[in-house]
Amino acid sequence: MTANVFADDVGEVLAETIGGDDGGVYAVNFGAGTIPDLVFRLHDLDDPPAVKLLVDWDDITAATDDFMVAGHAADLVAADALSVRLLPDLPRASLFVSGSEVVSLVHAGDGVGGLTATESAFVEDAWRRYDEAWVDAEPHSLRTPPITDVRETLAAELGRPVLDDFDAILGELSSVTGEDGPNEVTLVLLAAARHDKLLYEVSKWGENVSLASKATFSRSKSDLEEAGVVVTEKVPIDVGRPRLRLRLAPDLDDAGIPELLRTVRERLADAE
């Protein structure tokens, strides 16, 4: 495609320009604010190109601090649609580079323009440059499991109602801008507590799917308990220490998702 593209975000520019390129695409110098757009749009494409993302460590780390970004990116990595390497010497512009074109991204107001160059010698030079840079760049490993694995195993191990609440909580968080929400471990514990699940079952699932260790789940449970968000009930077993059943605090039993999240934020902040 030779035309310039003007879109709402960088993901749309990718889809409109080189989203169908079978030879792969280098995505170069994306910031913490634009990496999510790229990840979510790439995840939505039916036949995504293989994207090699060359970025700064600070930017990819900041972007993937968000569980949804990291989980969707991990999905793409597992599907061989995304790989990430760290490049210290980045260009000033953000670029898409394929074997047939170079797209330079220019942000203006609420939109972004993709300025396309297709002159063969220029494209070949750009491709060669980043092909060589990729070889020398340091691979970056995401520490979050694929969101597909999280959702599928959560439903299988803890039940569909827990998954439905987890999805609802994530959806509520994504609709609230400008606020840091609880982390993914806390969100799972809240969904599990709404259905009286055992902490042992939740933490075992979380460790098996590589979301977090059992110790992390235990610490997060203690934080929620100290903040008055959850309570626990001892459940005797035949051998060994009793297991703990998670329940929401009595005053939160009938709380909807928005109220629950608002209260959790307030109580955790007060407990710090």
Digit-coded pLDDT (tens) for 25-34: 999 999 998 8
Percent of the residues in the chain that have a pLDDT greater than 90, as a whole number:
68
Query: Is the pLDDT assigned to residue 2 strictly greater than 70?
Result: no
Q: Do 121 and 196 reside in the same domain of the chain?
A: no
- Look at residues 167, 134, 138 and name the one whose alpha carbon lies nearest to residue 150: 167
The DSSP H or E segment spanning 104 is strand 102-108
Q: Do 127 and 157 reside in the same domain of the chain?
A: no
Q: Which of 80, 114, 139 is the last residue of a domain?
A: 139
pLDDT tier at 19 (50, 70, 90 boundaries)? low
Give the domain CATH number at 209. 1.10.10.10
Q: Do 31 and 131 reside in the same domain of the chain?
A: yes
Q: Which of 105, 121, 139 is the last residue of a domain?
A: 139
Distance CA 114, CA 1 (A): 11
Q: What is the mean pLDDT of the chain?
A: 90
Q: Do 181 and 109 reside in the same domain of the chain?
A: no
The pLDDT value recorded for residue 20 is 62
Could you tell me which residue, 3 or 246, shows the higher pLDDT? Answer: 246
Averaged pLDDT, 57-66: 94
Averaged pLDDT, 188-196: 97
The DSSP H or E segment spanning 151 is helix 147-158
Give the domain CATH number at 36. 3.30.870.10
Q: Do 237 and 219 reside in the same domain of the chain?
A: yes
For 193-237, write each residue's pLDDT tens digit. Answer: 999 999 999 999 999 999 999 999 999 999 999 999 999 999 988
Say how many domains are in the chain. Answer: 2
Q: Do 10 and 126 reside in the same domain of the chain?
A: yes
Domain residues for the domain of 191 are 147-271
The pLDDT value recorded for residue 110 is 79
Let me know: does 172 contact 264? Beta carbons within 8 Å.
Answer: no
Percent of the residues in the chain that have a pLDDT greater than 70, as a whole number:
95
- Burial class of 182 by CB neighbour count within 10 A (0 to 12, 13 to 18, 19+): buried
Q: Do 54 and 105 reside in the same domain of the chain?
A: yes
Q: Do 80 and 162 reside in the same domain of the chain?
A: no
What's the whole-model pTM score? 0.89
The first and second tokens of residue 7, run together, are 């879109």
Q: Do 125 and 161 reside in the same domain of the chain?
A: no
Cα 86 to the center of its chain, rounded Å: 18
Q: Which of 119, 139, 159 is the last residue of a domain?
A: 139
Q: Do 133 and 151 reside in the same domain of the chain?
A: no
